[in-house]
Amino acid sequence: MRFFHLSDLHIGKHLHLYSLAQDQAYILEQIVEQAKVYRPDAIVIAGDIYDKSVPSAEAYQLFDRFLTALSELEPMIPVFIIAGNHDSAERLQFASSFLKKHQIYISVLPPQTKEEHLQKISLQDEYGEVNFYLCPFLKPGYVRHLFEEGEVTDYESAYTRILEREEMDTEKRNVLVAHQFFVNQDTKPDTCDSEYSVSAIGGLDAIDIRVVSDFDYVALGHIHGPQTFAGERVRYCGTPLKYSVSEEHHKKSITMVSLKKKGELPEIETIPFKPLHDVKRIKGSLEELLSRKDSTSDYVSVTLTDEKELYRPKDSLAERYERILEVTLDNSRMRALQEKLEEAYTWETKKTPLESFREFYQMMQGQPLSEKEEKEVTEILAEMGEKTV
């Protein structure tokens, strides 16, 4: 049996000021095309379908078009979807019973009553049954009421309890679809800038992978760079597109998992995505960057190294580069300014907030604070409860 593992589509996402609608439509079409080529037995999407809990009409249309195209494949390929932390349960659930008729299974909330269980779908292959357990993103508070007091104290205990009550048949092959922050003992996954909400609570959301050690494969979403644990048995497949400049070197792909017979490690293959536009950093003097021959339609983060003052460099760059995300300066002047700023913020310097602000103002404005301004700043700082003398 083989299946596609995808996650973190983040449909509706913008990269800086650019809508990625076209880029996303292009990538979703590739998923459909590759499904035609490889004929997987299932397609798994492990959360963060939409970028926002209230998706735009355009985002809905994109996803709708994608599901429609998948459902038109013959023979039909079942699709398993869970909600991530970016998705709204109600909105993702819309029409889910209708979708089930097209073998599109959507799970948006963990069990809410003692009778409810994780959604489980069983498929067959030559070695027997494979059970797919869909576990949408959960916080301890979502499930605490199902257990005795003190049983659920954190993310890890919540997850352990939720899986235990499934009484899974470990003689059979089992696949978990999940959207959480998993760690391997103390090894955390590599993160990047587009996951701003991941582990924002200082690692309290970490769940050790031994909690999922009974599964034959764990299809994860949440972390945006592809990576594996436990001999490829536990895997983050990553986003289908680069969603931040920090991902410029990521290789985005569809993960194709081949499950063998019970007890054997799954085989992982990656089918690379071809993005409509790449995301990259470029660095050099304005003249160098304007004379370069590389593609002009990619999303670029530009660093200019010119020492001399430039006249509206962004305007000149825009003639050569269609999609500029940001333009920053890296020359001796900026480095000196940066150093001074860092110095001003260093505790060792023991500067009072007012002294630091005075220096900052001088640096930015090229003149000292007037008496009146200094008085106002002093008052504001006092209000903030800071020591200003």
Query: Count of residues binding Mn ion (CB under 5 A)?
Result: 2
Residue 87 engages Mn ion in binding (rule: CB under 5 A): no
Closest distance to Mn ion from the beta carbon of 47 (Å): 7
Query: Which residues does 64 contact at the CB level (< 8 Å), separation at least 6?
Result: none
For Mn ion, the closer of residues 121 and 223 by Cβ is 223
Alpha-carbon span 221 to 171, nearest angstrom: 26
325, 280 in Cβ contact below 8 A? no
For Mn ion, the closer of residues 194 and 301 by Cβ is 194
For Mn ion, the closer of residues 8 and 205 by Cβ is 8
SS3 per residue for 273-318 = CCCCCCEEEEEECHHHHHHCCCCCCCEEEEEECCCCCCCCHHHHHH
Closest distance to Mn ion from the beta carbon of 334 (Å): 33
Q: At what angle do helices 332-345 and 353-365 cross, to 10 degrees?
A: 160
Window 19 to 48, contacts with Mn ion (CB under 5 A): 48
For Mn ion, the closer of residues 48 and 205 by Cβ is 48
Closest distance to Mn ion from the beta carbon of 49 (Å): 10
What are the C-alpha distances in Å from 63 to residues 30, 60, 85, 239?
13, 5, 18, 15
Closest distance to Mn ion from the beta carbon of 104 (Å): 20
Longest dimension (CA), the chain: 84
277, 29 in Cβ contact below 8 A? no
Closest distance to Mn ion from the beta carbon of 195 (Å): 6
* Stretch in the footprint of Mn ion (CB under 5 A) among 6-14, 21-29, 32-40, 94-102: 6-14
For Mn ion, the closer of residues 229 and 321 by Cβ is 229
Residue 8 engages Mn ion in binding (rule: CB under 5 A): yes
* Stretch in the footprint of Mn ion (CB under 5 A) among 5-13, 146-154, 230-238, 366-374: 5-13
For Mn ion, the closer of residues 85 and 174 by Cβ is 85
Helix (H, G, I), strand (E, B) or coil at 108: coil
Closest distance to Mn ion from the beta carbon of 146 (Å): 26
Task: Give 140-194 as a DSSP string.
Answer: HHHHGGGS-TTT--SHHHHHHHHHHTT---TTSEEEEEEESEEEBTTBPPP--GG
Window 233 to 272, contacts with Mn ion (CB under 5 A): none
x/- mask, Mn ion, residues 43-82, rule CB under 5 A, reads -----x----------------------------------
49, 62 in Cβ contact below 8 A? no
For Mn ion, the closer of residues 93 and 191 by Cβ is 191
What are the C-alpha distances in Å from 311 to residues 90, 315, 320, 326, 333?
51, 9, 16, 16, 16
* Stretch in the footprint of Mn ion (CB under 5 A) among 2-10, 182-190, 243-251, 282-290: 2-10
Q: Which of 235, 219, 217 is nearest to 227 (CA)?
A: 235
DSSP state of 115: T
Closest distance to Mn ion from the beta carbon of 31 (Å): 17
Closest distance to Mn ion from the beta carbon of 160 (Å): 23
For Mn ion, the closer of residues 223 and 369 by Cβ is 223
For Mn ion, the closer of residues 174 and 244 by Cβ is 244
Closest distance to Mn ion from the beta carbon of 82 (Å): 12
Q: Which residue is nearest to Mn ion (CB)?
A: 48
For Mn ion, the closer of residues 131 and 194 by Cβ is 194
Alpha-carbon span 21 to 324, nearest angstrom: 17
Closest distance to Mn ion from the beta carbon of 194 (Å): 7
**Which residues bind to Mn ion, rule: CB under 5 A?**
8, 48
